[in-house]
Amino acid sequence: MSDPTFLYGIGGYSAKLAHVFGAIIWLGGVLFMAGVATPILKYYADPAHRDERVAEVVGWLERRLVGFSWLGLGAVVVSGIVLSIFAPSFELARLASFYDWVLHLKIAMLVPIVLVNYLLSVSYRELAAARASREAGEELAPGEIVSWRIVMLRRVNIYLAFAILLLISTL
């Protein structure tokens, strides 16, 4: 019972499931924001279709999805650590095969993914504060800058998501 492959066999399946479900939660949120929320915002930002309530609803939805995004990323990180500890063939910094290269590239991509999601979280809070100050009678110039930053960070998040999907498909 002290054989590491036995432990990997028992805990490996649950860690793999947590890893896959965490990735699905994160990717699903990113792709939902890119494929559903962003086109809706663009449509209702047009002066012919302007509706301020849509921006409020999408903003509320984005703030809710940030929590799920962190939940998914946390599950991916914890399960990835568990999988790498118990995997009999994984060695950190060993690049002997294509599989090792792809695995290490996925690990390296975690840093920009976490950074972008952190910046998105901060930006959503800043935008909510800017909208609250606009309702108090101030201008929204800082809010427009934050909105632009959110659009750019969303775009980077989409690129990172597709890069991860490509890496996953090679394994």
DSSP string, 6-33: HHHHHHHHHHHHHHHHHHHHHHHHHHHI
pTM value? 0.74
134 pLDDT more than 80: no
The span from the CA of 18 to the CA of 140, in Å, is 41
138 pLDDT more than 70: no
Which pLDDT band, with edges at 50, 70 and 90, does 3 fall under?
low
- Give buried/exposed letters for 74-95 (b at 16+ CB in 10 A, else e): ebbbebbebbeebeeeeeeeee
Domain that holds residue 62: 4-170
Number of domains in the chain: 1
The span from the CA of 115 to the CA of 49, in Å, is 35
Average pLDDT rounded to a whole number, residues 38-53: 74
- Angle formed by the axes of helices 52-86 and 4-32, nearest 10°: 170
For residue 130, count CB atoms less than 10 angstroms from its CB and return exposed for 0-12, middle for 13-18, buried for 19 or more.
Answer: buried
